[in-house]
A = this chain, B = another copy of it.
Amino acid sequence: MIARIAAVILAIAATELHADPLPSWNDTEAKARIIEFVESVTDPASPDYVTPEARIATFDNDGTLWAEQPLYFQLIYAFDRLREKAEKDPSILTSEALRAAAEGDVAGALAGGEEGLVEILAVSHSGMSVEAFQADVADWLETARHPQTGMRYDEMLYQPMLELLRYLRDERFSTWITSGGGVHFIRTFAAEAYNIPPWQVIGSRAPATYDEENRVLMKEPGIGFVDDAADKPVGIDQQIGMVPIFVGGNSDGDFAMLDYGSAQDGPFFGLIVHHTDAEREFAYDRESPIGKLVRGLDEGPAKGWLIVDMAEDWNRVWPQ
């Protein structure tokens, strides 16, 4: 009897040991390279062994962990809220950029450059406490639906990347988001969507002030920090203080972060999600205004970074 129980336990253990950690990834080179890297840095006998506290993995969000077409979802939120407020009070539309955004004219809204964007974001992203802002984002996520897929925005996550995050955490990596999107916006759903706590989200931010009378943090208009391009390494240093050994991104805004990780002595894995799947998701790269990818494709392979071909390497895109 005891022998039988032992045999069953061993069988279960063996199954778990060999269970596929990345079932939504096809058996292509991409999956093999990821697993090979993770095994090489977690095996104490390996020359590339890395201690758990140094197993830092950072990921871009838009286009890397969730979708970003036809427009960054946070901008869709900003346009939605602006339109609703303008319906009640059209006098708030004091510039070309604001008028275009309220009409859903993306090109017109973005034609105002950074100045126009700051005006648009200020309407929904400032003059309120952090708590009130996050409650509003949570409300929006409940009702807003993607114009093409009809899905909730916080369900347009890439299942293969969710599996990668979990696999890394199972192997005692810490998993961080480092996004050009707003930190308060992303924290609203990151715990539930990705199992990533607020302190492991790095993002752009508006200036904030502490209201000493009401004892709350207020979001102010303007730009505090833009966590993009050459400032992604700056954000990583501010909030982590260590160089990541695994970095995932999808656009040239992630190039500096990948290169920063690459430059260190010791093992590093760079991963770029290449959007090649017009059928199940979207296909875009060099010419896209959102998620433009040129340098990553041209220089990434020579740097040893993995270019993930969504159409070839993933057998599924969305969670079930």
Contacts and interface: CB of A to CB of B under 8 A. Distances in A.
Interface of A: 53, 130, 183-184, 187, 197-199, 201, 205, 208-210, 212, 215-217, 230-234, 237-242, 256, 259-260, 262-263
Given A198-B240, A209-B230, A215-B263, 12 more contacts: A198-B241, A198-B242, A199-B239, A199-B242, A205-B238, A209-B234, A210-B233, A210-B260, A212-B230, A212-B259, A216-B263, A217-B233
A183 to B, nearest CB: 7
A94 to B, nearest CB: 29
Contacts of A259: 212, 215
Which label, helix, strand, loop or mixed, suits the secondary structure of the A interface? helix
A217 B237 contact: yes
Contacts of A262: 215
Contacts of A239: 199, 238-239
A84 B65 CA distance: 50
Nearest to A187: B241
A135 to B, nearest CB: 15
A165 to B, nearest CB: 17
Contacts of A212: 230, 256, 259
